[in-house]
Amino acid sequence: MNDPAITPAVTAVADDIAEMEIRGAAAIADAAAAAIGEQAQASEADTPEEFRAEIRAAARRLHETRPTAVSLPNALRYVLQGMEGNTVAELRDSIVATVVEFRRELDQAQDNLGQIGANRLRDGDTIMTHCHSTDALSCVRHALNDGKDISAIVKETRPRKQGHITARQLRDWDVPVTLIVDNAARRYLNDADHVLVGADSIAADGSVINKIGTSGLAVNARERGVPIMVAAQTLKLHPGTMTGHTVEIEMRDEREVLADAEREAVGDVRVENPAFDVTPPRYVDAIVTERGQFPPESIVTLMRELFGDQQNGEPWDERS
Ligand code: RUB
C-alpha cells in the first residue's frame, strides 16, 4: 500500500509549529486539531481504511514537530478518539464535529481558568511574567474585567523574546508594563506580588514544564516570598507521567542563540539551547485550571479522574 496522503495544509501547519510560527501550548493544540479537520475535509480516500490511515499519518506528522507541550498529543488524541462511522462520509463528519467541539472546550477552559486565576489577583497588584502564555493572560484579562488595576513586569525571555508578545498584549489592554531582560528578574521581584506563568506540560508529581528560565524564576520568587501561580488548562496535564514517563525537553537550534557573525566571533564552542525546563512542585503555590486551583502535589488526583491510570498505545500508531 502507498504511504497515506497528507494534505499540504497539514504539512504547512506542522512546519509552522516546528519553526514556531505557531507557538505556545494552547495555540499548537488548536492548530493541530484544525489541521486534522482540514485533512478530513480534503481527503480523497476511497475506503474507510484508507481514510483512517490518512488521519493517523497526519496526526503522526503533527506529533513529531515539537516534543514538550503535551497539549499537542492530548489534542490529537481527543480528535482521533472522536472518529467514528462505517463510511468515509461518516468518518469525515465525525472528525469535523469533534474539531469544533475541541475548539469550543479549549476556549471555554481558558475562559474559566482565567476567572479562577483572576480571583487570586487583587486590585493594584503587580505580576511578573515569563514567556507568552494565553492561559496566564486570560487571568489578567478577567482581573481587568473585574475592574482591578494590574501592572506587569515582563521578562524578555531569551532567546526568542516571547516577552515582547506579552508586553504588546498587555499594553493593548492598557496595563502598565515594565519590560526587563531576564537577568534583571531577581532585582524586580521586590516589586512583584505574583509570578504568573503558563505551562507546556504538568507532570503527575506537580512539576511544571514551561519555558526555559521558569524554574530559576520560581526559585528566586520563593526566596523573596512572591507566590508563583501557574495557569494551565487540563489539556496541559501529561497522562504519560502517571505511568512513570518523563517529559522530553526540546533542544532547539543553536542559531536561535548565536547569529552567524557571532558564531564566527565566538569560535569553536558547543552551544546548547533547551527550550523548556522543569520547576519542581515545591516552588509552585497554585496550578490554576478550568476545574479549579490545586496545590501541585494534588494535581495527580485530577489527572486520574481525567485520564484513568492506564495508557494503551496512541490512536495514531500504525496498525498491522
Ligand atoms: C511557550 C511557553 C508558554 C506555554 C503556555 O513556549 O512556554 O508559557 O506554552 O502557553 P514556546 P499557553 O514559545 O517555545 O512555544 O498558555 O498559550 O498555552
Which pLDDT score is estimated for 242?
Answer: 92
Task: List the beta strands (DSSP E) in the chain.
Answer: 126-129, 151-155, 177-180, 194-197, 201-202, 208-211, 228-231, 276-279, 286-289, 292-294
Q: What pLDDT, in 10s, does the model give residues 127-138? A: 999 999 999 999
Q: Is 174 helix (H, G, I), strand (E, B) or coil?
A: coil
131 is an active site residue: yes
Instruction: Choose the catalytic residue: 30, 200, 277, 285.
Output: 200
Q: What pLDDT, in 10s, does the model give residues 198-219? A: 999 999 999 999 999 999 999 9
Pocket test residue of 169, 200, 277 for ligand 1, highest count of atoms within 8 A of CB = 200
Which pLDDT score is estimated for 3?
Answer: 84
Q: Which runs of consecutive H residues, i.e. helices, occur in 119-192?
A: 134-145, 163-172, 185-188
**pLDDT confidence band for 320 (50 / 70 / 90):** very low
200 is an active site residue: yes
CB atoms within 10 A of CB 272: 8
Which pLDDT score is estimated for 312?
Answer: 74
CA 19/CA 23 separation, integer angstroms: 9
